[in-house]
Amino acid sequence: MSTTDLRLPAHAARSSAPSDAARKPRARRSARAHNRLPQLLDEAARLFRAQGFHGTSVREIVQSIDMLPGSLYYHFAAKEDLLAAVYEEGVHRISERVLGAIASETGAWRRLEAACIAHLEALLEDSDYAQVVIRVRPADVPAVAPSLVALRDRYEEIFVGLVAALPLRRGTDRRSLRLMLLGALNWSQTWYRAGRDDARAIGREFVALLRHGVPSPRT
């Protein structure tokens, strides 16, 4: 399912012939019981989210799970590939959540609203992985930037579809609509504070504002 060309460490290099056609799906490496890759990813997500990519050192990441810096390079060829893995998982989680939310809804506007709420919940109250997707700029990680952009674009395709389904007057600029909505949603990461704000309420409010406009007086 992995679409990023994630550069793996040397020991996991492609088997043999450089031009072997019919490459197997390459079953995920056995995965033993004692494998701290999940914890490694969790910690990386936590720190990348809180401090960004350049603001987080590999020592910081491995320290909190009692691992040594060098051990990271058994799992990933470089720090940037660790970020790529976290990012991919983040996109995966948001996608799942959003797709799940819209599946049970009918009606273009209700589906869009459900998607926005799910997007926000994942972004504000859920996992660190999702937040990394919004927090870290692909340009900060040159080696894997194209992969990250591709992932994000593919995710936003969901919203392209949702907006396309809206019953709008002919000639309406649906791109602006989408960009405005997603921008407002994503930026909420800046001002959102748990307890004070509520993801569901924000999502509903923003969609309503976009749908009906701001309520004008004496109407």
Partner DNA sequence: TCATTGGCCGAACAAGTGTTTGTTTTTAGC
Partner DNA sequence: GCTAAAAACAAACACTTGTTCGGCCAATGA
Positions touching DNA (CB under 7 A) are 11, 29-37, 56-60, 66-75, 77-80
Q: Which of residues 196-215 bind a second copy (CB under 8 A)?
A: 202, 205-206, 209-215
Can you tell me which of 66, 191, 194, 195 binds a second copy, judged by CB under 8 A?
A: 191
Can you tell me which of 23, 190, 193, 196 binds a second copy, judged by CB under 8 A?
A: 190
Integer CA distances (angstroms), 9 to 42, 79, 175, 182, in order: 19, 11, 40, 36
Q: Which does 176 bind (CB under 5 to 8 A by kind): a second copy, DNA, none?
A: a second copy
Q: Which does 209 bind (CB under 5 to 8 A by kind): a second copy, DNA, none?
A: a second copy
Alpha-carbon gap, residue 115 to 202, rounded angstroms: 12
Q: Which does 78 bind (CB under 5 to 8 A by kind): a second copy, DNA, none?
A: DNA
Task: Using alpha carbons, select from 153, 161, 164, 156 the residue that is nearest to residue 185.
Answer: 156
DSSP state string for 97-146: HHHHHHHT--SHHHHHHHHHHHHHHHHHTS-HHHHHHHHS-GGGSGGGHH
CB of 98 to DNA, least distance (A): 31
Q: How many of the other CB atoms lie within 10 Å of CB of 163? A: 21
Q: Would you tell me which residues interact with a second copy (CB under 8 A)?
A: 51-52, 54-55, 137, 140, 166-170, 172-173, 176-177, 179-188, 190-191, 202, 205-206, 209-217, 219
